[in-house]
Amino acid sequence: MLTNLDRPDSAATPPALEVRGLVKTFDRPAVDHLDLTVRAGEFYALLGPNGAGKTTTLRMVAGLLKPDAGAVSIFGIDALADPVAAKRITAWVSDEPMIYDKLSPIEYLEFVAGLWSIPPDVAEHRAHELLDWLELSAHANQRCEGFSKGMRQKVALAGALVHDPRLIILDEPLTGLDAGSARIVKDVLLQRVRAGVTIIMTTHILEVAERMAERIGVIAGGRLIAEGTLDELRAHAGKASSSLEDVFLDLVNQEAGDRARPAENAA
């Protein structure tokens, strides 16, 4: 787990992410007047059961989905009023890698860098650096169409990082990765946080959140029900020495019980 001693001072920096009153409804409310603040330079894990609203929230933050109401600020930029400026400093990586199969990794990274108007010499340096970090250099000139899901996920991560974002949003980034690839990705992410980058990650692998995240938010029913360090969440749940898994399940079950009581009373 990272601490304030592991990263540059961010006291004078606005929050990496500030969400206020965020709402999105499909057949039912998916995100329900959500308030959330993520500090600059921290590794933040957003956890919740299936259907809790995690991915919907992050897709709205990344500008991939329009909220019904609410405000999103990324390092002080109004992401709804000026989405291009917000996207220039933000990266999004989904659990399903979205890359161009007919391109090689180096071609893909050069293409993405071109979209961000990165000078070719800078793009080339960053591309090779990322491929080295992610142990893809040996496959740099092979077409992506023959890659495994794990390799494709690493290429997608490299593409998200090539424009040197200040905020990285990851939705289940370790899905489909073998143990070796997962270790490489986690190491790259931790290096970025130590350099002052902010990371927000959803994961169902609670041990990963327990080891990597400085703060953890638990979302259920589209609302943040608990937030803090692991010790703070333990105190909130009344489980002083429990694992994150035990604390998480207790918090979610408590919330489900609280939601069920008004309906029972009405009946």
pLDDT category of residue 181 using cuts at 50, 70 and 90: confident
* CA–CA separation, 144 and 152 (whole Å): 7
Q: Span 172-184, mean pLDDT?
A: 86
* Residue 11: C-alpha distances to residues 14, 16, 40, 60 (Å): 8, 12, 8, 26
CA torsion 141→169→51→53, rounded to 10°?
-150
For residue range 13-23, list pLDDT tens digits in order.
799 999 999 99
In eight-state DSSP terms, residue 15 is P
Q: Are 224 and 191 in contact (CB under 8 A)?
A: no
How would you class 264 by CB atoms within 10 Å of its CB: exposed for 0-12, middle for 13-18, buried for 19 or more? exposed
Asked if residue 255 has pLDDT above 90, the reply is no
Helices 105-115 and 149-161: angle between axes, nearest 10 degrees: 30
Asked if residue 207 has pLDDT above 50, the reply is yes
Q: Are 40 and 13 in contact (CB under 8 A)?
A: yes
Provide φ and ψ at 248, rounded to 5°. -60, -50
Helices (H), 116-148: 120-133
* CA–CA separation, 123 and 127 (whole Å): 6
Q: Span 222-248, mean pLDDT?
A: 90
Helices 230-237 and 244-266: angle between axes, nearest 10 degrees: 40
Asked if residue 265 has pLDDT above 60, the reply is no
In 48-174, DSSP assigns E strands to 69-74, 77-78, 90-93, 167-171
Sign of CA dihedral 22, 235, 169, 173: negative
pLDDT of residue 7: 47
* Residue 77: C-alpha distances to residues 8, 16, 113 (Å): 21, 10, 22
Q: Span 56-79, mean pLDDT?
A: 96
Q: Are 192 and 161 in contact (CB under 8 A)?
A: yes
pLDDT of residue 220: 94
* CA–CA separation, 84 and 74 (whole Å): 12
Q: Are 38 and 17 in contact (CB under 8 A)?
A: yes
Q: Span 94-99, mean pLDDT?
A: 85
% of the chain at pLDDT higher than 90: 74
For residue range 37-54, list pLDDT tens digits in order.
999 999 999 999 999 999
